[in-house]
């Protein structure tokens, strides 16, 4: 039981390690790793193919050698086999696909070499292209991370017509819209604040001036009270219109959604 527990804990530890490894690997590194694995596997395959070919050739020549040593075998048979082996290529007609071992060896060698070459080029090309794209994405991420509500004027400014450039241009356009809406909101709040401030200032200053006048008459008091009354009406009017504005906005949203 204890042993089992230990094993379980060991497994857990391993799992954690793998998890850590996974989180530690960035996307960039993962791609590098994948491409290098592809290259290594293709190199191993190619090497094993070459080794196999050499082995076959070696076995073939050994077989011929053994054949010659065999007593009682017809000399003619050996000769015909050897002649076949030394036959010039021109005489091998296409329909008769009987290839001499050395020709077969050469063709396989060239073909597999070509395939390996293509695989290498494709992998390398893909790798470089991906790295470049990733760099652009990294640049975009870094710049976008910097943008907050105070730095809405920042733009990515990537020119071009590829997908990434188009994406960043769309992003810039979105930022334009956001900035405009932020600005208009700011202006609205400024105006609202001004509208609210004016009546407050009128009330406050009237009270201040009245307070400093120790010999104020009843008429003066009445004047100030009237002014304050009017200004309070104005304030409540402003608050009503602000409320109406938000209510209308909510209604419009509901309409759009339905």
Partner 1 sequence: MKILVIEDEKLIADILKKGLEFHKFSVDVAYCGCDGYLLTQQFEYDVVILDLMLPDINGEEVCRKIRQDKNSVYILMLTAKKQSEDIVNGLNYGADDYLTKPFEFSVLLARIRALLRRATDKKENILEILNIRLFIDKEKVEVDSKEIELTKKEYMILEYLMRNKGQLLSRNQILEHAWDRNVDIFSNIVNTHIKNLRKKIGKTGNIIETVYGSGYRINEKL
204 binds partner 1 (CB under 8 A): yes
Residue 217 sits in the site that holds partner 1 (CB under 8 A)? no
Cβ 169 to partner 1, closest distance in Å?
A: 31
Judged by beta carbon, residue 142 or residue 218, the one nearer partner 1 is 218
- Give yes or no for residue 169 binding partner 1 (CB under 8 A): no
Q: Which two tokens stand for residue 191?
A: 């105006």
Shortest distance (Å) from residue 184 CB to partner 1: 17
Going by C-alpha positions, the residue among 163, 158, 159 that lies closest to residue 140 is 158
Running DSSP on this structure, what letter comes out for residue 253? H
When asked if residue 227 is in the footprint of partner 1 (CB under 8 A), the reply is: yes
- Give the number of other CB atoms < 10 A from CB of residue 196: 15
231 near partner 1 (CB under 8 A): yes
Stretch that binds partner 1, among 56-64, 65-73, 86-94, 188-196 (CB under 8 A): 188-196
Distance CA 169, CA 171 (A): 5
Stretch that binds partner 1, among 42-50, 108-116, 162-170, 187-195 (CB under 8 A): 187-195
Kindly indicate which of the ranges 34-42, 135-143, 151-159, 195-203 contains the residues binding partner 1, using the contact rule CB under 8 A.
195-203
* Least distance in angstroms from the C-beta of 32 to partner 1: 48
Binding of partner 1 by 200 (CB under 8 A):
yes
| 8 A C-beta contact, residue 199 and residue 235 | yes
Q: Please, are residues 25 and 33 in contact by the beta-carbon 8 Å criterion?
A: yes
Q: Which of 212, 217, 246, 258 binds partner 1 (CB under 8 A)?
A: 212
Under rule CB under 8 A, residue 190 binds partner 1: yes
Q: Binding segment for partner 1 among 75-83, 128-136, 139-147, 209-217 (CB under 8 A)?
A: 209-217
CA distance 86 to 75: 17
**Residue 205 makes contact with partner 1 by CB under 8 A:** yes
Got the DSSP string for 60-128?
HHHHHHHHHH-TT--HHHHHHHHHHHH--GGGS-TT-----HHHHHHHHHHHHHHHHHHHHHHHHHHHH
Pick from 33, 40, 209, 242 the residue near partner 1 by CB under 8 A: 209
59 lies in the site for partner 1, by CB under 8 A: no
Helix segments in the chain, DSSP class H: 2-24, 27-69, 75-86, 101-146, 163-212, 218-257
Which phi and psi angles does 70 have, rounded to 5°? Answer: -65, 125
* Closest distance to partner 1 from the beta carbon of 236 (Å): 17
Binding residues for partner 1, rule: CB under 8 A, are 190, 193-194, 197-198, 200-206, 208-209, 212-213, 227, 231
């Amino acid at each position: 039981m204890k042993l089992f527990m230990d094993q379980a804990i060991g497994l857990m530890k391993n799992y954690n390690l793998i998890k850590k490894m996974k989180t530690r690997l960035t996307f960039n590194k993962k791609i590098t790793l994948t491409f290098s694995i592809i290259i290594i596997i293709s190199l191993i395959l190619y090497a094993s193919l070459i080794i196999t070919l050499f082995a076959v050739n070696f076995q073939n020549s050994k077989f011929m050698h053994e054949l010659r040593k065999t007593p009682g075998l017809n000399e003619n048979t050996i000769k015909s086999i050897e002649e076949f082996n030394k036959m010039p290529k021109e005489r091998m007609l296409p329909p008769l696909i009987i290839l001499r071992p050395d020709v077969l060896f050469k063709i396989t060698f060239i073909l597999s070499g070509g395939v390996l070459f293509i695989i290498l080029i494709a992998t390398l090309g893909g790798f470089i292209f991906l790295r470049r794209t990733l760099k652009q994405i990294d640049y975009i991420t870094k710049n976008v991370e910097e943008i907050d509500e105070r730095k809405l004027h920042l733009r990515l400014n990537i020119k071009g017509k590829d997908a990434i450039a188009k994406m960043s241009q769309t992003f810039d356009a979105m930022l334009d819209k956001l900035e405009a809406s932020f600005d208009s909101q700011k202006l609205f709040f400024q105006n609202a604040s001004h509208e609210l401030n004016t009546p407050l200032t009128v009330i406050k200053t009237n009270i201040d001036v009245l307070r400093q006048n120790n010999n104020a008459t009843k008429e003066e008091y009445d004047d100030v009270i009237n002014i304050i009354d009017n200004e309070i009406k104005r304030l409540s009017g402003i608050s009503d219109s602000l409320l109406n504005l938000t209510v209308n906005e909510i209604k419009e949203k509901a309409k759009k959604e339905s």
